[in-house]
């Protein structure tokens, strides 16, 4: 057995390309079918390469492509974020702060300033770890990803993007070009909370996002989405918990019941950071916090 497996080593030999246009990227992906990986910040990919968890023969840099670095908002169409847009750029965006504050609050809890300055939201999703912080809030917002290839493109919901740890529905000749979020609901508010050992510098042991639409006249829950991270092979919705809240008068007892059901829906594992039992207990706490924080904002 290789005694260095899992440890950081020097990067393996590879050839790196720095295209200026998206079409060049897609041509390279087709040419090196399955042997090439795209990257922008590389904050997830490069450590994996040093641990030999990923060994692409070719790397394709995206941060020189202007068409992939943008934040655009239209009232009737919603938000579009380019794949090479950094987490810091999203955090500092007044558009996102105003219309999608759950994304701003989520990214403020992520990583260090240095990592946010180069890491991207698309990279966080494509890394496909169950604890990806951006996945739960994007799922409750109903966000979609635009996937492009040399001959076709398609749009898929973030909720259906993940297949398992380190696996997505992307084919070897596809890449994410942008994240799309529908216009915000005027009466909808959301929150993302997570539990870590070292605050934002660590991966989430468990995380929960909630997005609530309330009938302000009688406090009835018109709609709610709850998404959980780090407690299943992929980020997942707590649909049974949502169902007992939807259409009902929100109360502490109902929130307590929803939190219990969300915990039961989860499928956590024991690993180096936490036990499955502890994650289930934390889910009850985090679900209650996410719902109550959403309520306070409505």
**pLDDT, position 4:** 47
Q: Does 10 fall in a domain?
A: no
Let me know whether 169 and 223 are in one domain. no
Question: At a CB cut-off of 8 Å and minimum separation 6, what does 210 contact?
Answer: 140, 190, 191, 224, 225, 226, 287, 290, 291, 293, 294
Q: Does 213 fall in a domain?
A: yes
Let me know whether 246 and 267 are in one domain. yes
Q: Does 2 fall in a domain?
A: no
Q: How confident is residue 268, by pLDDT bands cut at 50, 70 and 90?
A: very high
Expressed as residue numbers, the domain containing 19 is 15-61
| pLDDT over 90 (residue 294) | yes
Is the Cβ–Cβ distance between 209 and 216 less than 8 Å?
Answer: no
Let me know whether 230 and 249 are in one domain. yes
Q: Does 6 fall in a domain?
A: no
Tens digit of pLDDT for each residue in 148-163? 999 899 999 999 999 9
| pLDDT over 70 (residue 21) | yes
Tens digit of pLDDT for each residue in 77-91? 999 999 999 999 999
Tell the residue number behind the tokens 């993007």, with chain if given.
161
Let me know whether 233 and 174 are in one domain. no
Is the Cβ–Cβ distance between 124 and 116 less than 8 Å?
Answer: no
Q: Strand order of the sheet with strand 236-237? A: 188-195, 206-215, 220-229, 236-237
**pLDDT, position 3:** 43
How much is the mean pLDDT over the chain? Answer: 93
Q: How confident is residue 182, by pLDDT bands cut at 50, 70 and 90?
A: very high
Which is more confidently placed, 216 or 34?
34
Read off the CATH number of the domain in which 134 is found: 3.30.465.10
| pLDDT over 60 (residue 200) | no
Let me know whether 40 and 76 are in one domain. no
142, 165, 181 — which closes off a domain? 181
Ramachandran sector of residue 245 (left: φ over 0; alpha: ψ -120 to 50; beta: rest): alpha
Read off the CATH number of the domain in which 212 is found: 3.30.390.50
Structure tokens at 266: 């989860």
Q: How confident is residue 191, by pLDDT bands cut at 50, 70 and 90?
A: very high
| pLDDT over 70 (residue 168) | yes
| pLDDT over 70 (residue 276) | yes
- Find the radius of gyration of the CA atoms of the chain: 19
Tell the residue number behind the tokens 């076709």, with chain if given.
152
61, 76, 94 — which closes off a domain? 61
Let me know whether 38 and 130 are in one domain. no
Tens digit of pLDDT for each residue in 63-77? 899 999 999 999 999
Structure tokens at 75: 């009232």
**pLDDT, position 114:** 93
Is the Cβ–Cβ distance between 153 and 59 less than 8 Å?
Answer: no
| pLDDT over 60 (residue 261) | yes
**pLDDT, position 6:** 54
CB-CB neighbours of 285 under 10 Å: 15
Strand partners, 179: 81, 145
The number of domains in the chain is 3
Q: How confident is residue 225, by pLDDT bands cut at 50, 70 and 90?
A: very high
Q: How confident is residue 185, by pLDDT bands cut at 50, 70 and 90?
A: confident
């Amino acid at each position: 057995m290789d005694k260095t497996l899992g440890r950081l080593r020097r990067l393996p030999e590879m050839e790196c390309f720095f295209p200026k246009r998206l079409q060049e990227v897609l041509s390279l992906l087709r040419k090196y079918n399955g042997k090439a990986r795209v990257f922008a910040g590389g904050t997830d990919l490069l450590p994996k390469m040093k641990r030999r968890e990923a060994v692409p023969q070719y790397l394709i840099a995206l941060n020189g492509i202007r068409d992939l670095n943008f934040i655009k908002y239209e009232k009737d169409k919603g938000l579009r974020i380019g794949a090479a847009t950094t987490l810091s750029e999203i955090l500092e965006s007044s558009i996102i702060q105003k219309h999608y504050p759950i994304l701003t609050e989520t990214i403020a809890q992520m990583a260090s300033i240095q990592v946010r300055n180069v890491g991207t939201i698309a990279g966080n999703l494509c890394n496909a770890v169950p604890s990806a912080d951006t996945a739960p809030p994007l799922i409750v917002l109903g966000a979609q990803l635009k996937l492009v290839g040399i001959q076709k493109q398609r749009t898929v919901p973030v909720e259906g993007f993940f297949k398992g740890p380190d696996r997505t529905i992307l084919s070897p000749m596809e890449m994410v070009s942008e994240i799309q979020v529908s216009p915000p609901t005027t009466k909808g508010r959301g929150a993302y909370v997570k539990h870590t050992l070292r605050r934002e510098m660590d991966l989430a042991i468990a995380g929960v996002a909630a997005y609530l639409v309330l009938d302000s006249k009688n406090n009835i829950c018109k709609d709610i989405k709850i998404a959980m991270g780090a407690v299943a092979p992929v980020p997942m919705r707590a649909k049974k918990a949502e169902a007992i809240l939807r259409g009902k008068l929100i109360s502490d007892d109902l929130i307590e019941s929803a939190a219990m059901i969300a915990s039961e829906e989860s499928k956590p594992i024991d690993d180096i950071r936490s036990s499955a039992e502890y994650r289930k207990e934390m889910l009850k706490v985090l679900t209650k916090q996410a719902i109550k924080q959403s309520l306070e904002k409505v």
